[in-house]
Structure 1
Amino acid sequence: MPQSRWTLMLVPHDNERVRSFQVSGKSIRAALSAVLMGVLLLGTFAIAFVVKQSKHVQNASLRAENAALASEVDQIREQMEALDASIAALTEKDEQLRVVAGLPEIDPDVRRVGVGGPGSNGTSAALARLNPRVNRKVETAGQDVNALLRRAALLRTSMDEALTTIERNRERMASTPTILPANGHLSSLFSGTRYHPVLRISRPHKGIDIAARVGEPILAAARGRVVFAGNKSNGYGNMVEIDHGYGYVTRYAHASRLHVRSGQTVDRGTRIADVGATGLTSGPHLHYEVEQNGRQVDPLNFVIGDALP
């Protein structure tokens, strides 16, 4: 079969002669293939260039983001250092509070309460592959945050314990009979046996006697609740009995006049009665007793420097 041929004619617009060329169909197909191949190669190169430029821009953006992230992590670390200094200062105050409260010192190793190694979550692993330097900063900051949180939690618990103990001690002190309840001189001390001036026999003297003029104020030796205010038939005459809590009970006998009633709450220094000579007594004075956990004890063991409010 004869090969197909094509004739190409070039017709100029001037008077020059017409030129004609004959080419085979195979040559035309080869030329078209070459053109298509050239276009394909050019397109491929163009796409590769665009992708490369895009990756370059993306990498530049990632580098900028990583730099910004690293800068933020550095700023966070600086703030954490300031927080660490604040916690250290509060720790010193906490140690002082524990001394005041009478609590044992916390071991320094417990104070440090370190945390374990870095985490291994997916985000950290991905960041480690993308930017190991920034990843190390983030991991270190995370560990420091955990340590600060644990130190702060321990500090809060310790301070709560110290403040609670101090408050409890303050309440106990307010309820401890630490003053002489009347202004006068001691005429008789606490004793296992004493000669009674009226009965003229020897028997225990369960308190102290403070000689004073009739009408001299009798003050509550500590905060508490009045559980009795009236006349006792056992020789105490007009008497006030106060329950202070914490095992303390005080009694004030031979009063001439009472200023409180049963159920009333009083503070240290509250005027509860006046000195008198009611009951079994040879003269005006205050008979004052202190009971601790159900056992009568010497009131002078609690008095601070013969204090009066």
Structure 2
Amino acid sequence: MIRTKYIFNETTQTYEPLKRSTPQRFFRVFLFLTGAIAIAVLIFVFSFTFFESPKEKIMERELAQYQLQFNIMGDRLEKMQSMLDQLATKDDNIYRIIFEAEPIPKSIRQAGFGGANRYAKLEGYENSELLKQTAKKLDKIASEIYVQSKSFDDVYKLARKKEKMLKSIPGIQPVKITDLKRISSYFGYRIDPIYKVKKFHSGVDFSSTLGAPVFATGDGVVKRIRHSNRGYGNTIEVNHGYGYRTFYAHLSKILVKKGQKVKRGSTIGLIGNTGKSTAPHLHYEIIKNNRKINPIYYFFNDLSPAQFDKMIQLSKIPNQSLD
């Protein structure tokens, strides 16, 4: 409803409706329209600045999704890198030593990519650093996979040339995985279970069930057997050639004779508790060129890279032996 404005006429002494000229009316309409436009502009600017559009919300969700995918990819790359490191350790410390090949230098294993502008195309994005780090990880892993592949090719060629040697080298655990309760003591300084002093433990103790089978870990000839209730109890020593011998102790029963040929995996005795032993187990040693060495480096046919790495870590923890 339009409101009518009145003014007092002194001549007639009455109130009369105010009559505006056409210019005045146009001016009032102009002021009204200008104010409305100004308010509309302010509302638009405020909304654009402080509130996201539907398109922006979609883009933000997509960006968050990409960020999540990159993070997941980064975790997977880290796991792949860890597996490659384990393979490299096994390659240098086991395979190449066994086949008398030099370990691959770190400068070759971890060789980088040349060119300062290699990742320049990834500059200028909101997540440039994330993109560059992911690209660098991929390049590093690709390079290490190539080096490791070439190394395994070399080792394979050496193995083909030394097939008989490979069968003779101790390459499995002497106790079946299903019979093994735990590895109760590793190679190195351990607490003697009888005298309670720290002594050097020259093998690995496999805790198992009394009477479980014990296997030859490589092809060879039985060099020595011994029946005793002292020290290592009933023992077997196998000569594998190529400077390798293995020693099996605390057996309850010996199933081979001196001079007998044995194959890898053949049963040569049974788990026992003879001699200076506190529980049924097998004490197992590897001797290379008349020097006792850590047997866990020779379980390469039985363990995955992750299991091997875990065993290496466990072997560094001091504990008490069973003999």
**TM-score normalized with structure 1 length:** 0.45
**TM-score normalized with structure 2 length:** 0.43
Question: Which structure has the bigger radius of gyration?
Answer: 1
